[in-house]
A and B are shown apart, each in its own frame.
Chain A
Amino acid sequence: MDNNSDKRRVVVTGLGIVCALGDNVEECFNAAVNGVSGIEEVKSVNTDGCYAKLGAEAKISTEKLSDKDCDRSSLLCIKAAEEALADAKYEITPENSSRIGVIVGNCVGGAASIDKYFTDELKNGGGKPSDVLKMPASAIANNVALHFGLNGTTANIVNACAAGTISIAYACDLIRAGKADAFCAGGSDSFSSLAFAGFHALHALDENPCSPFNKSHGITLGEGAGILVVESYEHAKARGAHIYCEILGSGVSSDAHHITAPRPDGQGQMLAINRAIENSGLKPSDIDYINAHGTGTAKNDEAEFLSLHTIFDGSDGLSVSSTKSMTGHCLGAAGSIEAVLTVKAVCENVLPPTIGYTEDDLAVLKEKAGNIDFISNTKREKTVNFAASNSFAFGGNNASVVFAKNPHEIPDRTNNERIFVTGLGDYTAKGRIDIQSDDYKNLGIKMAFWRKLDRFSQLMLVSGMRALSDANITISEENERDIGIIIGTSDGPMTEIVNFQKNVVANGTASGSAFSFPNTVYNAAGGYFSIFAGIKGYNVTNANGVQAGLQSICYAADVLKNGDEDIMVAAGVDENTDVTEYLYGKLGLLGGKMELGEGAVSLILEKESSAEKRGAQKYAELVGYASAHKAVEFGKLKGSENALKEAVLKACESAGISADDIDLVCGASDGLEEVDSAEKEVLGELLKNCTYVTIKDEIGEARAAGAAKQAMQLAITLRESDMYKYGLAVSFGTGGQYSAVILKKAV
Chain B
Amino acid sequence: MANEEICAKIKAMLVENLRIPEDELEYDSELFGDDIGLDSIDSIEIIAGIDNLFGVQMTGAARENFQSINTLAKFVEEHQQ
Contacts and interface: CB of A to CB of B under 8 A. Distances in A.
A202 interface: yes
A448 B17 contact: no
Contacts of A203: 44
Interface string B16-34: 0111110010000000001
B44 A448 contact: no
Interface size class of B (residues with CB under 8 A): 10 to 19
Contact of B20 (A202, A446, A451): A451
A518 B21 contact: no
Contacts of B44: 201-203, 514-515
A515 B35 contact: no
Most chain B CB neighbours (cut-off 10 Å) among A203, A260, A449, A451? A451
A451 B21 contact: yes
A446 B38 CA distance: 12
B48 interface: yes
A452 B19 contact: yes
Contacts of A515: 17-18, 41-42, 44-45
B21 A447 contact: yes
A509 interface: no
Given A448-B35, A448-B36, A513 B45 contact: yes
A448 B38 CA distance: 7
Interface of A is mostly: loop
A514 B40 CA distance: 10
B37 A260 contact: no
A518 B42 CA distance: 12
A513 B17 contact: yes
Contacts of B48: 201, 511, 513-514
B62 to A, nearest CB: 18
B45 A451 contact: no
Contacts of B21: 437, 447, 451
Given A201-B48, A514-B48, A451 B19 contact: yes
Interface string A440-455: 0000001111011000
Interface in B47-79: 48
Nearest to B32: A448
Interface of A: 201-203, 260, 437, 446-449, 451-452, 511, 513-515, 518
7 contacts: A202-B41, A447-B24, A447-B35, A448-B35, A514-B45, A515-B18, A515-B41
Given A446-B37, A513-B17, A514-B41, 10 more contacts: A201-B48, A203-B44, A447-B35, A448-B37, A448-B38, A449-B37, A513-B48, A515-B17, A515-B44, A515-B45
Sort A-B residue pairs by CB-CB distance and give the 9 closest, nearest first. A448-B37, A514-B44, A451-B19, A515-B45, A514-B41, A514-B45, A451-B20, A515-B18, A515-B17
